[in-house]
Amino acid sequence: MALDNVNGEVIEEAGNENYVKHIIKATVFSDLFYNRKYLMELYQTLHPEDKITTESDLKNVTIRNVLVNDIVNDLGFRVGDRLMLLLEAQSTWSLNILVRVLMYLARTYQLYFKEQKADLYGEKKVVVPKPELYVIYIGDEKDIQDTISLAEEFFEGDNAFLDLKIKVIRQTESTDILNQYILFSKIYNEQRRLHGRSKETILKTISICKDRNILKEYLESREKEVVDIMMTLFDEQEIAEMHDNSMIEKGKIDTLVSLVNDSIISISEAAKRLGVTEAKFKEYMK
């Protein structure tokens, strides 16, 4: 069963400055937890003490592609007075995820207040859902703290005016849904190293996970969709890399044209550095 958010559908935002690298229609992470059953399992993993909340109490407030600088899988949902945000950190760890979460949280609150028609300029204090912030880390770096702080990492510990703390979720010995997802991701990374961006990588990942009882029910029920999602992701990664390479080339051309215009180097030298004919370089100067 799918989830409804504040507008009855998953919110998608795409920045349009320059080129939007990854407008991902779906990822395994978002597809998995778009289902109330698995989202409920995730919530129970984070709050095993809560015996009252049911699937119908979960409200999706996911914003897709609010920050489109790398491939991330984000999830936001409300449970009573809690606002729970989960972001996936890729294999390479970066503390900049604290800033990303801050911006994600601010945008989520903005949409929440709009939905509630809250009067932020009125005298009456508005209701603000209490945030719970998590990062799911699928890499192998060992020296990562269980909780990271914006004030500690960016303001030398001064939290007098602003702080934000995120709990880091990593691989454990548990069989809960979050750990299964982390294991799925690691198996996928291993297979990709062996077989590259190929359908074989995806099929072997799914097969291994089903054999090891990792997201088995989900993968058996949506195997075709998972293959389609991951193949689409391969295509988008390839397009993004092609764009990155073209942007690097454009930057090199612009620099050389500027050097020629400033009489620092000759057209002949610029063409040689770029590996093109002088005639071709003159076209770039137009």
Q: Please state the domain extents for the chain.
A: 11-170, 223-286
Q: Under a CB-based contact definition with an 8 Å cutoff, are residues 63 and 13 in contact?
A: yes
What pLDDT does residue 247 have? 64
Token pair 């592609």 is at which residue? 65
Q: CA 82 to CA 52: how far, in whole Å?
A: 14
What pLDDT does residue 68 have? 41
Q: CA 149 to CA 156: how far, in whole Å?
A: 10
pLDDT in tens, 146-174: 999 999 999 999 988 999 999 999 999 99
Q: Under a CB-based contact definition with an 8 Å cutoff, are residues 172 and 184 in contact?
A: no
What pLDDT does residue 15 have? 37
What pLDDT does residue 37 have? 94
Q: Which helix (H) or strand (E) holds 43?
A: helix 36-46
Sign of the Cα pseudo-torsion (101, 117, 7, 15, in order) = negative
134 DSSP β-pair partners: 86, 167
What pLDDT does residue 75 have? 87
Could you tell me the strand order of the sheet in which 74-79 lies? 58-60, 74-79, 82-89, 130-137, 165-169, 147-149
pLDDT in tens, 176-199: 999 999 999 999 989 989 998 888
Q: Under a CB-based contact definition with an 8 Å cutoff, are residues 187 and 208 in contact?
A: yes
Q: Which residues of the chain have pLDDT under 50?
A: 1-25, 65-72
